[in-house]
Amino acid sequence: MKPPVVLEHIKPAHIECTKDDIANLVVMPGDPLRAKYIAEKFLEDAKLVSRARNMFVYTGTYHGKRVSVMGSGMGMPSMSIYAFELFYFFGVEKIIRVGTCGGLIKELNVPDIILATQSYTEANFAYSYNGDPTHFAKPSKELNEAICEVAKKQNKKLHLGTVMCTEQFDFYSDNEHVLARVPSDTNIIGEEMESFALFHIASSFQKSAACLLTVVDSKYQERFMSIAEREQSLDEMITLALEAIIL
């Protein structure tokens, strides 16, 4: 499986900086303002290196290792643009998505953390991207193992499993019929909108990608994560991603 062929004269259309401005390790929230928050709170000497389309990219150091933080936007199309450009034009080696999701099993509570071991989508993203008819995409085994190793050291509980990557926000759609079509041997534990594109593109470049998700709501609970809970829980996930990506 290979990435699409890009014309030699083409330059990145959505990230505006030099190749040297971006580290080969990237932590990627969906929200560009969350990227700003991560850079300012967790990185040393963080510098804004691109703000094209207000999708902020910051580069600094974490425990002496050079790391960039960039927003991906919402949905597979937006993620695919930035993941492709980071891998293809900027030589990025590892991306860890840090996002939020809805819980789809009773065992998950707000604000548990999921580590995606697989992403399933009903969409034809893979076929459109490079002719691959698959609806499943996997993260990097080595990067997931690094995340699990750090979680164990930090005494953080992770829920490992398959997530569904949708084309629309779950609250604004009727997705029960979609869940009913999932292969019977696949247990979906959470729902989000970007992981499949990230995993598939990373695999096409033979690069590493992983996805950590904080559960902010659940189909089994009439509860949404409060602002205070969200800040604390997302910080735990962010720290986990940063510690793992520099291993």
Q: Respond yes or no: is residue 217 known to be catalytic.
A: yes
Catalytic residue among 20, 112, 170, 217: 217
Structural contact between residues 165 and 83, judged by C-beta atoms closer than 8 angstroms: no
What DSSP letter does each residue of 197-233 carry, written as one string?
HHHHHHHHTT-EEEEEEEEEEETTEEEE--HHHHHHH
Structural contact between residues 246 and 143, judged by C-beta atoms closer than 8 angstroms: no
What DSSP letter does each residue of 126-180 carry, written as one string?
HHHHHS---SEE---HHHHHHHHHHHHHTT--EEEEEEEE-SS-GGGS--HHHHT
Element (H, E) at 70: strand 65-70
Tokens 């602002």, residue? 227
**Catalytic residue IDs:** 217
